[in-house]
Structure 1
Amino acid sequence: MSDRRKFIKSGLIGIAGINLLPAVNSFAGEPVYNPDSAANFKLRFAIASDGHYAQPGTESDVFYADLVKWLGKEHKENHLDMVIINGDLVHNRPDLLKKVKETYLDKLPVPYYTIPGNHDFADAAIWKNVFGYEDKYVVDKGDIGFVFANTADTKGGYVCPDYNFLKASLDQLKTKSIVFVILHIPPHQWLPEDKGIFVDCPQIIELLHSYPNIKATFHGHDHSLDGIRYTGKLPHLFDSHFGGNWGTEYKGYRIVEVSVNNQIATYQVNASQNPKLNANKL
């Protein structure tokens, strides 16, 4: 397996299953709550990233078919309200975004939302032409709000998210109990090894810290990260990858659950079951 960066084993990186409030840790095939009742949750969603459709030398059709199958099973067993695909849907081929949408994403069993990554080579016009909305937008889910913003340009360059858009959106959502921010590339460099991989955007971090109802930000981009890092008390969560030719040995996605009393739990799912964990033959 190729890997464009050394995997960093640091105290800044969490284990595969982490919790923001209640203790939750699960892998595929181990439902956390009673799957018979969606009433356990105010909102339950999956977030996946980095499909890299059409990356040379990869089975990208298999990767996407697997994701649709995994999330269909997840929804059937545990219920999902929505799915987020957090960037790098394609690999340097924006002309294939429509194919990815129509062939795979439209088969997801619940509404889904997308945002560009650096390999999508997409701006607002491209994204709107394919998905019907621009590369930065707000989603309102009752007491919960989402802010999505692009972190790359049409040539794959890394950029800070639009400050004015973020501020206006967060002001719009300031009465929500919970806000989640979706950014493909993290706006912070935690370690020297992050230089050139993440974007250093101190103004954005300061802005995010100024809204107490922002409970977490979610990132893709670094396929080797499937845990949590913090800026101050704000969690930044990663979800590994479901495509591409480098990163964690397994492919998967992250589940986020908001209970009826606004407790938030999240865990990473080893959907491909590769490698199997704690497997024994007795």
Structure 2
Amino acid sequence: MKRSEFLKNISLATLLLADGSIIPAFGSESFARKTRLRFVVASDGHYGQAKTEFEQYFATAVSQINRQHEQEKLDLCIFNGDVIHDNPDFLLDSKKALDNLKMPYYVTQGNHDRVSPEVWEQTWKMPFDYDVIVKDNAFLFGTTSNIKGEYLCPNVSWFRNKLEEHKDKKNVFIFIHITPVKWTDNGIDCIEFRDLLKQYKNVRGVFNGHDHDQEGVKMKDGIPYLFDSHIGGSWGTAYRGFRIVELKKNNDVLTYLMNPMEKINEATI
């Protein structure tokens, strides 16, 4: 399907503008602007959850993400927590499933990823908290849980150091599993973390998993918090989808959900 035809299937889209405002994307010239960075955010696969078709959920998501990559290159994919469902025995199989992705991918730990920091890093070759630079944009990944599955706020000290390190980057994108604002049933109130983020104007968005029934964009202190539904698990939105993010040449961000075949909930930030 041509991109122009593909865009017609979108029910909602969001633009996160370079000036910090957020508007519906329809009718915006940002649709036509060239993209300089494109990535996927997916979460909540819950590989190994009983009475769910978790293997098929992963296969479908990976296949559709790869399809997006074939149609228009994806620079990276982020799997934002709850890769597995409690049992560490499923960790290697979940990795084998994600290894079928045809672009670089990164993971964060969720509350159902109940393994030690050592096992996590040995499996993924990534620690609980880490950063990567892609096309001069900083991506910060942080854990919000532990081996017990507790709900935790991000490591404020680590994020403070990294935000200061990357303060001259044009954009910073943050990925944490648990929502740090108590506006969802499963979110927690991380005031110190939020107060830190609002000191850095280059923070373009905080991406959350965890809340399977959330699929939109919420604003707090001028920062967008973006949800991506779920690709697995036993509850949540009626569809299992993922979010695509496109950073435009003018530094606007166009973002929308795939469900997983069609675009929905498109936005620009």
User: What TM-score, normalized by structure 1, do the two folds share?
Assistant: 0.82
Residue matched to 2:216: 227
2:65 is aligned with 1:71: yes
2:14 is aligned with 1:18: yes
Residue matched to 2:165: 172
Partner secondary structure for residue 71 of structure 1: helix
Instruction: Tell me, yes or no, if the aligned pair for 1:182 and 1:218 is still in contact at 8 Å.
Output: yes
Instruction: Tell me, yes or no, if the aligned pair for 1:253 and 1:270 is still in contact at 8 Å.
Output: yes
Once the two structures are aligned, what percentage of the paired residues are identical? 38
Measured after TM superposition, the shift of residue 272 of structure 1 is: 5.3
Residue matched to 2:5: none
Instruction: Tell me, yes or no, if the aligned pair for 2:12 and 2:24 is still in contact at 8 Å.
Output: no
Residue matched to 1:98: 92
**5+ long unaligned stretches in structure 1:** 1-14, 26-31, 35-39, 278-282
Residue matched to 1:6: none
Instruction: Tell me, yes or no, if the aligned pair for 1:16 and 1:226 is still in contact at 8 Å.
Output: no
Measured after TM superposition, the shift of residue 234 of structure 1 is: 0.6
- Counterparts of 1:73 and 1:141 in 2: how far apart (Å)? 21
Measured after TM superposition, the shift of residue 33 of structure 1 is: 5.9
The verdict on how the C-alpha distance between 1:167 and 1:271 changes in structure 2, with shifts beyond 3 A counting, is: same
Partner secondary structure for residue 49 of structure 2: coil
- Counterparts of 2:89 and 2:261 in 1: how far apart (Å)? 28
2:85 is aligned with 1:84: no
- Counterparts of 1:263 and 1:184 in 2: how far apart (Å)? 24
Does 134-143 or 203-212 show the bigger shift? 134-143
Instruction: Tell me, yes or no, if the aligned pair for 1:222 and 1:240 is still in contact at 8 Å.
Output: yes
1:256 aligned residue (245, 250, 254): 245
Deviations 1:207-247 (A, max 9, x none): 01111000100000010000011112110000000001110
**5+ long unaligned stretches in structure 2:** 1-10, 18-22
2:151 is aligned with 1:158: yes
Measured after TM superposition, the shift of residue 142 of structure 1 is: 3.0
Partner secondary structure for residue 107 of structure 1: coil
Measured after TM superposition, the shift of residue 250 of structure 1 is: 0.6
| 1:106-185 correspondence runs (5 A) | 106-185=99-178
Q: Give the paired residue count.
A: 245
Deviations 1:125-161 (A, max 9, x none): 1211101110110011132101100001111110111
- Counterparts of 2:245 and 2:116 in 1: how far apart (Å)? 28
Please state which structure has a larger fraction of its residues in strand: 2
Measured after TM superposition, the shift of residue 62 of structure 1 is: 0.2
Does 122-131 or 159-168 show the bigger shift? 122-131
- Counterparts of 2:116 and 2:196 in 1: how far apart (Å)? 23
User: What TM-score, normalized by structure 2, do the two folds share?
Assistant: 0.86
- Counterparts of 2:179 and 2:252 in 1: how far apart (Å)? 24
